[in-house]
């Protein structure tokens, strides 16, 4: 959803880890059992959490205040952020309707909960149980000592990938470190260092478990003068290429070079951006998006700086599946080329845009 992927991911991490417990002698069975106990015993929670990310071309920090109430009520407000446009952003679910308020755009996106790309507490915990089990299956967990984190005594645990593990859960063959509260058995802090993948840190600054939150906290009153955008009205629209060129508020660029007999199979209007999809080739399949919306959703892979059409760009490649993600900016427009295509060919396609 637009420019909120990093923030949404951070909140999902917060909601998932905030209610997750584990003991000093860590086994997969004990962690899963403690998570289930916590789910059953937790009605609601309130926390202030900081997340710092420097990975896959994204470098930013966000501090958010989060309220959640089982099974599906959520409110999150960005208090501080390295990118000013995020400050004041609010994300809410009242169980039926969701809101995403962006003060920098003077806009609120409104839609049904199932249409909003927002983490729900119960879903986050269910998914985290599966993630924990998967991570432990391929990890060596070590009690590295005891430390004080945000004024609380905590156990320090390190998780490293097992030698010869079939699954590669740890991007960049990295190491995760967790600081677990000794009193209430939840994670106060988590860090991940993944070599070329990058690093990330989550730390709970303050918290309340079961404070008895009222439901009206999770409803949103639209400020006067703020534009209300219906999410349903923002669904992708299929167009012909000529229609897209007419509707775009900028010159829509089309590649003069397309590799391996790939052909244009669809053109979509997604909010203010346009996506050209190329397929029908046994070797390549990719999309080219262009529009004013910045790219925030980035894949995992080897990252490098490149020059595209005379502009600084970012290339992310995953050789295991033969995928490439290429992004760059030209003036007020953001371009992204992604799919089953080599970096060399992706650059040739990008350079041929006209």
Q: Of 205, 229, 253, at which residue does a domain stop?
A: 229
Query: What CA–CA distance (Å, rounded) separates 144 from 116?
Result: 40
Number of domains in the chain: 2
3-state secondary structure 212-248: CCCHHHHCCCCCCCCEEEEHHHHCCEEECHHHHHHHC
260 in the same domain as 202: no
Pairing of strands 73-81, 237-239: unpaired
Question: What's residue 274's pLDDT?
Answer: 94
Separation of first and last alpha carbons in the chain: 28
Task: Mark whether 270 and 296 lie in a shared domain.
Answer: yes
249 in the same domain as 200:
no
- 222 and 262 housed in the same domain: no
For residue 311, give the 3-state DSSP assignment: strand
Domain boundary among 165, 195, 229: 229
Give the pLDDT confidence score for residue 157 in this predicted structure.
78
CATH code for the domain in which residue 167 is found = 2.50.20.10
Contacts of 225 (CB under 8 A, 6+ apart): 106
Q: Please choose, from the candidates 336, 334, 337, 354, the residue with its C-alpha nearest in 3D space to the C-alpha of residue 346.
A: 337
Phi, psi of 138 (to 5 degrees): -120, 20
What confidence score (pLDDT) does residue 96 get? 82
Verify that 240 and 225 share a domain, yes or no. no
CATH code, 255: 3.30.200
Q: Which helix (DSSP H) or strand (DSSP E) does residue 193 occupy?
A: strand 187-193
- Among 208, 229, 250, the domain-final residue is 229
Query: Quick one: 217 and 254 in the same domain?
Result: no
Model pTM above 0.85? no
Residue span of the structural domain in which 251 resides? 236-351
321 to each of 25, 88, 123, 343, how far by Cα in Å?
38, 39, 29, 13
Q: What is the pLDDT of residue 270?
A: 83
Are residues 272 and 131 both part of a single domain?
A: no
Residues 132 and 37 in one domain: yes
The reply to whether 223 and 248 lie within a common domain is: no
Per-residue pLDDT tens digits of the chain, which is 354 residues long: 444 444 444 444 444 444 444 334 445 456 545 656 766 777 888 989 888 888 666 678 889 999 988 888 889 899 998 888 889 999 888 888 888 898 988 988 888 766 565 554 444 444 444 555 555 566 677 777 789 998 998 888 787 777 765 555 555 567 778 887 777 777 788 888 766 667 788 888 898 888 999 999 998 889 999 988 877 666 788 999 999 999 998 999 999 999 878 899 999 988 788 999 999 878 899 999 999 876 655 666 678 899 999 999 999 888 777 889 999 999 989 999 999 999 999 999 999 999
Q: What residues have CB less than 8 Å from 154, skipping those under 6 apart?
A: 146, 147, 148, 179, 180, 181, 182, 188, 189
Q: Same domain for 126 and 219?
A: yes
Same domain, 163 and 286: no
Burial class of residue 149 (count of CB atoms within 10 Å of its CB; 0-12, 13-18, 19+): middle
Regarding whether 263 and 143 lie in a shared domain, the answer is no
Four-point Cα dihedral 292, 297, 300, 302, nearest 10: 20
- According to the model, what pLDDT value does residue 98 have? 85
């Amino acid at each position: 959803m637009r420019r909120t992927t990093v923030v949404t991911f951070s909140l999902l991490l917060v909601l998932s880890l905030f209610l997750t417990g584990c003991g000093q002698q860590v086994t997969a069975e004990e962690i899963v059992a403690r998570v289930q106990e916590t789910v059953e015993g937790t009605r609601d929670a309130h926390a202030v959490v900081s997340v710092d990310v420097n990975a896959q071309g994204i470098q930013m920090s966000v501090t958010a205040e989060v309220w959640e109430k089982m099974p599906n009520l959520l409110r999150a407000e960005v208090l501080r952020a390295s990118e000013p446009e995020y400050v004041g952003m609010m994300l809410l679910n009242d169980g039926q309707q969701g809101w995403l308020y962006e003060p920098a755009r003077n806009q609120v996106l409104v839609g049904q909960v199932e249409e909003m790309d927002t983490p729900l507490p119960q879903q986050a915990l269910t998914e985290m149980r599966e993630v924990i089990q998967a991570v432990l299956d391929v990890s060596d967990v070590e009690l590295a000592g005891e430390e004080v984190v945000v004024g609380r005594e905590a156990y320090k645990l390190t998780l490293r990938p097992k030698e010869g593990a079939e699954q590669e859960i740890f991007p960049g063959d990295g190491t995760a470190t967790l600081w677990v509260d000794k009193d209430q058995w939840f994670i106060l802090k988590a860090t991940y260092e993944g070599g070329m993948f990058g690093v990330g840190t989550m730390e709970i600054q303050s918290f309340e478990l079961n404070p008895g939150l009222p439901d009206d906290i999770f409803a949103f009153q639209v400020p006067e003068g703020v534009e209300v955008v219906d999410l349903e009205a923002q669904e992708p629209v299929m167009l012909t290429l000529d229609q897209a060129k007419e509707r775009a508020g900028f010159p829509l660029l089309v590649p003069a070079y397309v590799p391996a007999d790939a052909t244009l199979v669809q053109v979509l209007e997604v909010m203010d951006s346009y996506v050209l999809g190329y397929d029908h080739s046994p070797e390549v399949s990719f999309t080219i998006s262009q529009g004013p919306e910045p790219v925030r959703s980035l894949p995992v892979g080897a990252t490098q700086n490149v020059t595209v059409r005379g502009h600084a760009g970012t290339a992310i490649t995953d050789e295991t599946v033969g995928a490439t993600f290429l992004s760059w900016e030209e003036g007020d427009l953001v371009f992204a080329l992604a799919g089953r295509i080599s970096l060399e060919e992706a650059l040739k396609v990008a350079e041929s845009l006209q």
